[in-house]
């Protein structure tokens, strides 16, 4: 449970809330610190759980949910067409950290663990290039790198259950006291927008027009006969979700300022990568699929489009928006190329974005087809979930294909942003061509879909609490 903020803190919060993210005066540094002005290599990866891209100001959202994220994005490069590898926490984060598709690294749902010894991780790479400290500060138990089998972290902080943004910030703050002046790879994970939507005061009311009803207990696939949310209940749930974003955004701003407070005069700011793992359905599918307020079962854009921002002051372009489709597996090779110059010494499924970030886009950079996988269901709540499902985005077209049935849905995203009208019948040639691309993708990256990992009792309790298993 997230703790209530005190009245005094609330006053300070309201005053500070809209302050732009930026560098504050450095913490007290000794004279010797100022004499040592060597430029440390620092990499900060910040991931937001269940953060829907189109609920951010930088994506055009009408509510002021994200002033700090928006200000940060204006100083970096924002990719406006970025996609999750798989819209579930563990697989998406593992793809971010490895540069591999879920069907390659093997994390196809929450509760899985990497079993191969040859899997790259950004933390291992950072240690190999001489970075002094590697740290993972995550806000959900099942995302602990040790649980996932992701190696290379010197320091790991993970809660027994979940942790709110204020508590995560204070752990980051304490870690920086010991390590803020060293070279480091620091991964920070904020969990707050994930269900249940329960932001602390005043964030639980700033977007609410006065509705004081109870949060309905059902989500995902609603009961049969269906328990529908009425419009007022939907708006109430969205207001709470947006409040979670605003609460997290506030502590994101504090985190950036804390990090930059340790930068010595003359040193570069860190290379920042800020990304969400996946989005969230906000009852768009209630009438169509009897589904609401969840993610992972469908591959529509509200759950697979993600925030992605790179920022490295004076090293890459700033204040730029790029509309080229990219995916989470592109992040690891990009970091390697920006810091080391050669992403080809490792095996990645993704392609480096370094040229785009430097403003040097090539024809190869434009040849990007995006593949997004649905998670492997541990509990088959509906018969269609037993099938494997993959989406291919070849802008403006998007094909969603299920296997083994080969049932397809084709959408023109330029004309049908809400993915309502399946135009596969009217565009048979394109649908067949894209289906064949997905078939080749499956052949190139085979996965035993019948495999089910053993899950420890502790991890099972964690996943049941989140609704991932029954």
pLDDT of 174 > 50? The answer is yes
Beta bridge partners of 322: 79
Residue among 73, 433, 447 at smallest CA distance from 276: 73
Give the pLDDT band of residue 222 (cuts 50, 70, 90). low
Distance CA 63, CA 56 (A): 8
**In sequence order, which residues have a C-beta less than 8 Å from that of residue 432 and are 6 or more positions away?**
none
What is the tens place of the pLDDT at every residue in 17-68? 443 333 333 333 333 333 333 457 999 999 999 999 999 999 999 999 999 9
Least confident residue range of 282-296, 376-390, 439-453: 376-390
pLDDT of 7 > 80? The answer is no
200 and 303 housed in the same domain: yes
What is the rounded average pLDDT of the residues 141-147?
Answer: 93
227 and 298 housed in the same domain: yes
**In sequence order, which residues have a C-beta less than 8 Å from that of residue 368 and are 6 or more positions away?**
324, 325, 326, 327, 351
Inside any domain, residue 185 = yes
Inside any domain, residue 299 = yes
383 and 364 housed in the same domain: no
The rounded mean pLDDT for the chain is: 86
Inside any domain, residue 10 = no
The number of folded domains in the chain is 2
Inside any domain, residue 24 = no
Lookup: tokens for 278: 């996946």
pLDDT of 297 > 70? The answer is yes
CATH number of the domain where residue 394 is located: 3.30.1120.10
Inside any domain, residue 462 = no
Inside any domain, residue 463 = no
Its domain, for residue 217, covers 39-368
Distance CA 100, CA 444 (A): 13
Q: What's the pLDDT at 318?
A: 92
342 and 431 housed in the same domain: no
287 and 434 housed in the same domain: no
249 and 396 housed in the same domain: no
What is the rounded average pLDDT of the residues 305-316?
Answer: 96
Q: What's the pLDDT at 292?
A: 86
User: Rounded to two decimals, what is the model's pTM?
Assistant: 0.87
What is the rounded average pLDDT of the residues 197-216?
Answer: 83
What is the rounded average pLDDT of the residues 398-411?
Answer: 97
What is the tens place of the pLDDT at every residue in 73-122? 999 999 999 999 999 999 999 999 999 999 999 999 888 889 888 899 99
356 and 387 housed in the same domain: no
Beta bridge partners of 189: 47
352 and 446 housed in the same domain: no
396 and 355 housed in the same domain: no
Distance CA 309, CA 33 (A): 31
CATH number of the domain where residue 349 is located: 3.40.720.10
Q: Which residue has the tokens 């499902």?
A: 389
What is the rounded average pLDDT of the residues 3-9?
Answer: 41
Distance CA 66, CA 74 (A): 12
Distance CA 293, CA 181 (A): 42
237 and 150 housed in the same domain: yes
Inside any domain, residue 11 = no
Class of residue 306 by CB neighbours under 10 A (exposed 0-12, middle 13-18, buried 19+): buried
Inside any domain, residue 78 = yes
305 and 406 housed in the same domain: no
What is the tens place of the pLDDT at every residue in 364-395? 777 788 999 998 866 556 777 889 999 999 99
140 and 189 housed in the same domain: yes
């Amino acid at each position: 449970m997230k703790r209530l903020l005190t009245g005094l803190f609330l006053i300070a919060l309201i005053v500070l809330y809209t302050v732009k993210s930026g560098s504050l005066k450095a913490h007290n540094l000794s004279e010797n610190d100022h004499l040592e002005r060597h430029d440390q290599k620092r990499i900060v990866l910040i991931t937001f759980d269940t953060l829907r891209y189109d609920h951010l100001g930088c994506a055009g959202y009408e509510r002021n949910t994200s002033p700090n994220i928006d200000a940060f994005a204006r100083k970096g490069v924002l990719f406006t067409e970025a996609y999750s590898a798989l819209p579930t926490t563990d697989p998406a984060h593992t793809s971010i950290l490895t540069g591999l598709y879920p069907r390659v690294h093997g994390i196809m749902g929450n509760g899985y663990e990497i079993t191969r010894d040859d899997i790259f991780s950004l933390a291992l790479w950072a240690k190999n290039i001489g970075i002094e400290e590697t740290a993972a500060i995550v806000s959900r138990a099942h995302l602990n790198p040790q649980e996932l089998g992701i190696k290379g972290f010197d320091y790991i902080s993970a809660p027994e259950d979940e942790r709110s943004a204020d508590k995560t910030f204070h752990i980051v703050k304490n870690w920086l006291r010991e390590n803020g002046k060293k070279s480091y790879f620091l991964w920070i994970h904020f969990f707050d927008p994930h269900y249940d939507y329960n932001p602390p005061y005043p964030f639980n009311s700033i977007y609410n027009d006065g509705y004081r009803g109870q949060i309905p207990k059902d989500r995902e696939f609603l009961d049969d006969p269906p328990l529908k949310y009425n419009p007022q209940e939907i708006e109430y749930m969205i207001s709470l979700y947006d409040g979670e974003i605003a609460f997290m955004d506030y502590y994101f701003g504090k985190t950036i300022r804390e990090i930059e407070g340790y930068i010595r005069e003359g040193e570069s700011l860190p290379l920042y990568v800020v990304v969400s793992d996946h989005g969230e359905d906000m009852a768009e599918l209630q009438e169509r699929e009897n589904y609401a307020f969840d993610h992972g079962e469908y591959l529509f854009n509200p759950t697979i489009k993600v925030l992605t921002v790179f920022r490295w002051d004076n090293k890459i372009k700033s204040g730029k928006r790029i509309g080229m489709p990219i995916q989470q597996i592109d992040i690891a090779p990009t970091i390697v190329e920006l810091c080391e110059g050669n992403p080809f010494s490792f095996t990645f499924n993704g392609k480096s974005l370094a040229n785009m970030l430097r403003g040097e886009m090539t024809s190869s950079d434009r040849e990007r087809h995006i593949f997004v996988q649905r998670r492997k269901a541990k509990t088959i709540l509906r018969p269609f979930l037993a099938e494997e499902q993959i989406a291919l985005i070849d802008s403006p077209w998007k094909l969603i294909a299920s296997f083994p049935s080969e049932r397809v849905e084709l959408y023109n995203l330029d004309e049908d942003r809400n993915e309502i009208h399946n135009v596969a019948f009217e565009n048979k040639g394109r649908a067949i061509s894209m289906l064949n691309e997905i078939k080749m993708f499956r052949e190139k990256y085979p996965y035993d879909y019948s495999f089910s990992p053993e899950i420890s009792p502790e991890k099972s309790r964690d996943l049941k609490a989140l609704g991932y298993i029954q």
